[in-house]
């Protein structure tokens, strides 16, 4: 374990001193002096025109396509895109999540590329970075043959797991399975496979394939939640809840599964998503691993803005099991592709592989900004018959910085970014003193 990994805050402050080795490209955005720890360190609040000054819902309406755990705000992505790339440049996020960086890059006249092993992340990134106008997309959607009568979809409904049926009215479920079949005629939703490794990308898709991709992304955003357009029994928007819990809670509180017109819900949702217009600059979405990026990307990327899996704090596949079911995936297969571990050495090695790939695809002199959060690692130690609970602060940014230097990067700075309690992972289920308390942005240069 690196010596700096778990140094207590008071130890860090004792070692701090004014820094005189800040890269000039970063220094011009600082409003105050920064302090030197193992690497130059500052606060996001000291940055000139910091994204912290923006409203919570800042950004294009397409950014709200879906809620997903562990995402950073569009204003953060835009801050670095505007300052460390120029129009026409290629901007990469190898852990694209819901496609925030890729979309913001496209909106800024760049080529946004999002890579992710999670199928729902791929779908959201694709839906946001293709150029589809609402009215034309609606014409396509209304041409699809959708059944709302469960009797006409009996064969398809037999294949639906009981855990899925917990969430949906029979009529809604019939519409969902028939819609999935219709979309699959134009875009191979149910046939994406990790066996096509190392990555999958639908290059130069036809018009109907683009429409299918767009509606898949919109559907993922309303597949579960509690809004008037959500298709499931009232539950979380951000993550797929445990079916056993939803079944019990619904029974105890008399919750009913809504009977909705799926097509009309999709149209209303799309209309709201395109309040600010459609994306007009195409990007790229790739289903694949950040640890093995396409060879063709070598030294073609001008900027990377990303947030890799947080050490021990996320269960990405399980959090999206319902969305993955709709796309024809088993979350257990997806989980095998993700890096979710509480073992420091394993996490460190995974981050090294990712950063080595990032170093390969970035152009010489290019910047990379990696957002990670401090986490608490809980364990139990035994001394004879006595058991003691131990909580250990893991400063993930130190792991990233160490492995980045090993991969060849220069660590220019670490920006500490406080997380408001309402923005922490699964914040609606946490007390004020729980959850990730501090994000840190590791600023790297090749």
pLDDT band at 25 (very low <50, low <70, confident <90, very high): low
Longest dimension (CA), the chain: 72
Q: What is the pLDDT of residue 381?
A: 77
Q: What is the pLDDT of residue 318?
A: 82
pLDDT band at 7 (very low <50, low <70, confident <90, very high): very low
Fold of 9-118+287-314+328-445: Rossmann fold (3.40.50)
Q: Name the percent of the chain lying above pLDDT 70.
A: 84
Helix (H) or strand (E) holding 267: helix 262-273
Q: What is the pLDDT of residue 313?
A: 59
Neighbours of 187 (CB within 10 A): 23
Pick the more confident residue, 13 or 214: 214
Q: What is the pLDDT of residue 68?
A: 82
**Which tokens hold the place of 140?**
């396509």
Instruction: Count Cβ atoms within 10 A of the Cβ of residue 251 and give its class: 0-12 exposed, 13-18 middle, 19 or more buried.
Output: exposed
Q: What is the pLDDT of residue 28?
A: 52
User: Among 98-107, 116-125, 145-154, 299-308, whose mean pLDDT is lowest?
Assistant: 145-154
Q: Summarize pLDDT for 165-186 with one digit per residue, the tens.
A: 999 999 999 999 999 999 999 9
Q: What is the pLDDT of residue 312?
A: 74
The bridge status of strand 386-394 relative to strand 375-383 is antiparallel
User: Which phi and psi (to 5°) does residue 194 adopt?
Assistant: -70, -15
pLDDT at 100 over 80: yes
Pick the more confident residue, 418 or 91: 91
Average pLDDT over residues 357-382: 90
Cα 52 from Cα 161, distance rounded (Å) = 43
Residue 270 CA, chain-centre distance (Å), reads 20
Average pLDDT over residues 421-429: 42
pLDDT band at 193 (very low <50, low <70, confident <90, very high): low
Average pLDDT over residues 407-429: 70
Q: Name the percent of the chain lying above pLDDT 90.
A: 60
Q: What is the pLDDT of residue 15?
A: 37
Are the C-beta atoms of 435 and 373 separated by less than 8 Å? no
B/e letters for 142-178, b = 16+ CB within 10 Å, e = fewer, are eebebbbebeebeebbeebeebbebbbbbbbbbbbbb
User: Among 130-134, 237-241, 275-279, whose mean pLDDT is lowest?
Assistant: 237-241
What is the pTM (predicted TM-score) of this model?
0.86
**Which tokens hold the place of 179?**
């819609």
- The DSSP-derived string for 293-305 is --GGGTT-EEEEE
Q: Summarize pLDDT for 253-304 with one digit per residue, the tens.
A: 999 999 999 999 999 999 999 999 999 999 999 999 999 999 999 999 999 9
pLDDT band at 394 (very low <50, low <70, confident <90, very high): confident
Q: What is the pLDDT of residue 419?
A: 60
pLDDT at 195 over 70: no
Average pLDDT over residues 127-131: 96
Q: What is the pLDDT of residue 27?
A: 55
**Which tokens hold the place of 54?**
């923006």
pLDDT at 65 over 50: yes
Q: Could you report how far apart the first and last alpha carbons of the chain are, in Å?
A: 25
pLDDT at 154 over 70: yes
Cα 414 from Cα 32, distance rounded (Å) = 15
**Which tokens hold the place of 300?**
């073609």
Q: Summarize pLDDT for 35-49 with one digit per residue, the tens.
A: 445 788 888 988 889
User: Among 34-38, 364-368, 431-435, whose mean pLDDT is lowest?
Assistant: 431-435
Instruction: Describe the crossing of helices 396-407 and 344-361 by its angle, rounded to 10 degrees.
Output: 50
Q: What is the mean pLDDT of the chain?
A: 85
Give me the residue spans of the domains in the chain. 9-118+287-314+328-445, 134-273
């Amino acid at each position: 374990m690196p010596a700096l990994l778990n140094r207590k805050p008071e130890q860090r402050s004792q070692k701090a001193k004014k820094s005189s080795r800040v890269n000039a490209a970063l220094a011009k955005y600082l409003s105050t002096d920064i302090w030197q720890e193992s690497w130059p360190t500052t606060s996001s609040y000291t940055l000139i025109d910091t994204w912290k000054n923006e409203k919570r819902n800042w950004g294009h309406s397409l950014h709200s396509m879906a809620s997903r755990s562990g995402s950073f705000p569009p204003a953060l992505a835009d801050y670095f895109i505007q300052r460390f790339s120029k129009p026409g440049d290629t901007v990469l996020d190898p852990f694209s999540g819901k496609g925030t960086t890729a979309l913001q890059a496209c909106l800024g006249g760049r080529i946004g590329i999002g890579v992710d092993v999670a199928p729902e992340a791929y779908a959201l990134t694709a839906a946001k970075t293709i150029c589809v106008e609402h009215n034309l997309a609606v014409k396509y959607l209304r041409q699809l043959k959708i059944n709302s009568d469960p009797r006409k979809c009996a064969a398809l409904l037999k294949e639906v797991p009981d855990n899925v049926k917990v969430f949906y009215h029979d009529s809604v479920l019939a519409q969902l399975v028939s819609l999935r079949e219709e979309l699959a005629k134009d875009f191979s939703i149910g046939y994406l496979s990790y066996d096509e490794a190392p990555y999958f990308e639908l290059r130069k898709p036809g018009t109907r394939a683009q429409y299918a991709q767009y509606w898949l992304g919109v559907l993922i955003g309303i597949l579960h939640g509690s809004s008037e357009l959500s298709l499931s029994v009232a539950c979380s928007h951000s993550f797929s809840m445990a079916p056993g819990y939803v079944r019990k809670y619904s029974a105890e509180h008399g919750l009913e599964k809504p009977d909705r017109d799926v097509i009309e819900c999709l149209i209303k949702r799309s209309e709201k998503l395109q309040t600010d217009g459609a994306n007009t600059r195409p990007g790229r979405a790739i289903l694949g691993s950040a640890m093995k990026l396409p060879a063709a990307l070598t030294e073609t990327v001008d900027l990377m803005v990303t947030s890799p899996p947080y050490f021990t704090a996320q269960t990405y596949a399980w959090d999206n099991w319902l969305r993955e079911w709709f796309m024809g995936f088993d979350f257990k297969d997806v989980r095998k592709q993700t890096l979710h571990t509480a073992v420091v050495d394993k996490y460190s090695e995974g981050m090294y592989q990712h950063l080595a790939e990032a170093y390969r695809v970035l152009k010489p002199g290019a910047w990379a900004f990696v957002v990670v959060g401090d986490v608490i690692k809980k364990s139990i130690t035994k001394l004879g018959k006595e058991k003691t609970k131990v909580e250990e602060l893991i400063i993930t940014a130190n792991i990233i910085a160490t492995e980045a230097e090993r991969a060849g990067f220069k660590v220019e700075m670490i920006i500490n970014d406080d997380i408001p309690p309402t923005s922490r992972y699964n914040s609606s289920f946490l007390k004020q003193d729980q959850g990730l308390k501090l994000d840190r942005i590791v600023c790297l240069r090749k």
